[in-house]
Amino acid sequence: MADAVDVAGIVAWMNGFQRRVHLEVTYLTDLDSAIGDGDHGVNMDRGMAAVVAALGPAVANGSVLTVGAALHMVGMTLVSTVGGAAGPLYGTMFLRMADGLAETVQLDTDGLTDAFARGLEGLRARGRALAGDKTMIDALTPAVDAMRTAATEGATLAPALAAAAQAAEAGRDATAPMLARKGRASYLGERTIGHIDPGSGSMAFLVAAAREAFGA
Ligand code: ADP
Ligand code: MG
């Protein structure tokens, strides 16, 4: 596999994420039933079905030609189709990832790391959550840190994304003992302790799907 992410790679990534979310609707919904309103799996499944339906055809017919245009389409689709907190949050993440990439047809490890870092910044700005608040940020932050370390050491995409996927899973698992301070779960206070945050669960799937699409 070429050591770069192109527009076909973004399609493969989104197709893989959609398949995973669809397979794990019940898992994500169960996580959200414990500390929220039980809709996270359904929300993400609806959004990713819309992303897959829009993106593949747009790339095939040549209306989406760059990495930035593809990421932008993902973000716009999620913002407009996913209800609840997660839609605008994931949507903002992808829109920020797209920033500056409108003419870009290939991303290397540094470029992909920069894109994920922008996405994380966008999430932070939009949700105003800090690390440790028990949100999807707690899965994405260690993943971006791991990618940055790997990229700085000159790693290719495969080891960088392997490290990122592992870090995202560890970050997800580390949300269990946290007390939720943002979003719907924060209303439950102490009762959130002992449960994994649903958004960190879907975020770990997103990073795992990137590993599968770009890092094989
Ligand atoms: P809703 O909470 O509106 O039902 P979802 O169930 O789809 O939306 O998504 C819930 C997830 O969104 C949480 O598990 C958490 O990871 C994430 N989340 C909620 N609020 C914030 C926030 N302010 N910043 C970051 N992530 C958040
Ligand atoms: Mg919910």
pLDDT in tens, 65-113: 999 999 999 999 999 999 889 999 999 999 999 999 999 999 999 999 9
| Domains assigned to the chain | 7-215 (1.25.40.340)
* Euclidean distance between CA atoms 85 and 65, whole angstroms: 30
pLDDT tens-place string over residues 7-40: 999 999 999 999 999 999 999 999 999 999 999 9
Residues whose beta carbons lie less than 5 angstroms from ion ligand 2: 32, 36-37, 39-40
Residue 30 has phi, psi (to 5 degrees) of -65, -40
* Euclidean distance between CA atoms 183 and 96, whole angstroms: 21
pLDDT of residue 83: 81
Q: Measured over all CA atoms, what is the biggest interatomic distance in the chain, rounded to whole angstroms?
A: 51
* Euclidean distance between CA atoms 128 and 153, whole angstroms: 31
Ligand closest to the CA atom of residue 42: 1
More confident residue, 1 or 96: 96
pLDDT of residue 1: 46
The token pair that represents 127 in the structure block: 């949700």
Q: Is the pLDDT of residue 131 over 50?
A: yes
Q: Is 68 in the pocket of ligand 1 (CB under 6 A)?
A: no
Interval between CA 29 and ligand 2 midpoint (Å): 8
Q: Is 136 in the pocket of ligand 1 (CB under 6 A)?
A: yes
| Ligand 1: residue whose CA is nearest its atom 20 | 183
Q: Is 47 in the pocket of ligand 1 (CB under 6 A)?
A: no
* Euclidean distance between CA atoms 135 and 132, whole angstroms: 8
Q: Is the pLDDT of residue 154 over 70?
A: yes
